[in-house]
Structure 1
Amino acid sequence: MDFLQLALAEARKCIPSPTAFCVGCVLIAAYPPGTEAEPVVVARGYSRELEGNTHAEANAITKARQLTPAQLQELFPASQIPISVETLLSHTDIYTTMEPCSVRTSGLAPCADAVVAAGIRRCFIGVGEPDDFVKCEGAQKLKDAGVEVIWLAGMEEECLAVARRRE
């Protein structure tokens, strides 16, 4: 399954804005760790989806944190013990169409900080954030915090086209 394609589908749901990118992301986990469990989508998010000038990564993490114990058991029926959202997040990968932001002109917390705070272990990125609005250092911020950053080659143009769409 191409998880970056799922993230692009989320990005396409964004209401375009002249002052912000249209970004999408998905949180993926295979649980319990160390088993042959198939990875599943834990949560999805896109820019401006939730109220308050929100970004894709923060939205997906927020939605993951709202999962009930019953929903977690449905997602991971092979798990023999109840799983907490925070434990799950520490075994989760994030696929995002654009590098998580390192600064917000709105004053809100950057997405790179949200990824680190959630304990997410790996971040797969479709394209770096261009300097249209701010100088982004999200990937470096993630690396500095011990998050493995993986740049997905080959879809940069598509990710950027979706991010910059205006209608």
Structure 2
Amino acid sequence: MFGDSTTHLHHLRRALDEARKSPPTATAFCVGAVIISPVGKIISTGYTGELPGNTHAEQCAFEKLAPELPPLGSILYTTMEPCSFRLSGNKPCVDRILDLGEGRIKTVVVGVKEPGDFVEENTGEGKLRKNGIEYVYVPGLEKDILEVAKSGHPKETGEKATV
């Protein structure tokens, strides 16, 4: 079955492999993304910082597809929920998903919620659901995902990152 938890975990592990390619930095999370077509084929991947500029994993996966768009009914797997606000002023990943057009991404599958390290509250889940996009949280990889995501951050010693 395409939407079962075993399949979701498989694709989230693939996204985690992408996240491991991210250059560690104290000012961003190392995230990975995989876009799957409606027939279950990987059509694009991305990771934080893969493309020039301050690029997020989802953004890289979409830009690598351009000028093509994901087929209607595609699924986005991302190790961390898509951002709803960017301190840099760049377009948030939730808005990029919505800008693809209705039905392009039908489901977003995430491995962890965004920690409040940089942005206090991510409102992306509500915005995606409000626009008819299924949001699926799949537990099981949180420890590994957060270890990779925070690989460039100061260790948990009580001191705050200076970002």
Instruction: State TM-score, norm by structure 2.
Output: 0.82
Instruction: State how many pairs are aligned.
Output: 141
* Distance in structure 2 (CA, Å) of the matches to 1:19 and 1:148: 29
Aligned pair 1:19/2:19, yes or no? no
Where do residues 104-119 of structure 1 align in structure 2 (5 Å cutoff)? 104-118=86-100, 119=104
> What residue identity is the alignment partner of 2:64?
K
Q: Which residue of 2 aligns with 1:75?
A: none
Report the CA distance between 1:95 and its aligned residue: 0.3
Superposed CA deviations along residues 76-119 of structure 1, whole A, max 9, x for unmatched, are xxxxxxxxx33x43221000000100000000000011112223
Identity of aligned residues (%): 43
Instruction: State TM-score, norm by structure 1.
Output: 0.80
Q: Which residue of 2 aligns with 1:97?
A: 79
Structure 2: runs of 5 or more not aligned: 1-6, 154-163
> What residue identity is the alignment partner of 1:28?
I
Q: Which residue of 2 aligns with 1:157?
A: 143
Is 2:94–2:124's contact at 8 Å kept on the other side of the alignment? Answer: yes
Three-state SS of the structure 2 residue aligned to 1:43 is strand
Greater per-residue helix proportion = 1
Q: Higher mean Cα deviation, 99-108 or 111-120? A: 111-120
> What residue identity is the alignment partner of 2:136?
I
Structure 1: runs of 5 or more not aligned: 32-38, 67-84
Three-state SS of the structure 1 residue aligned to 2:129 is helix
Aligned-residue CA RMSD (Å): 1.4
> What residue identity is the alignment partner of 1:13?
K
* Distance in structure 2 (CA, Å) of the matches to 1:89 and 1:60: 14
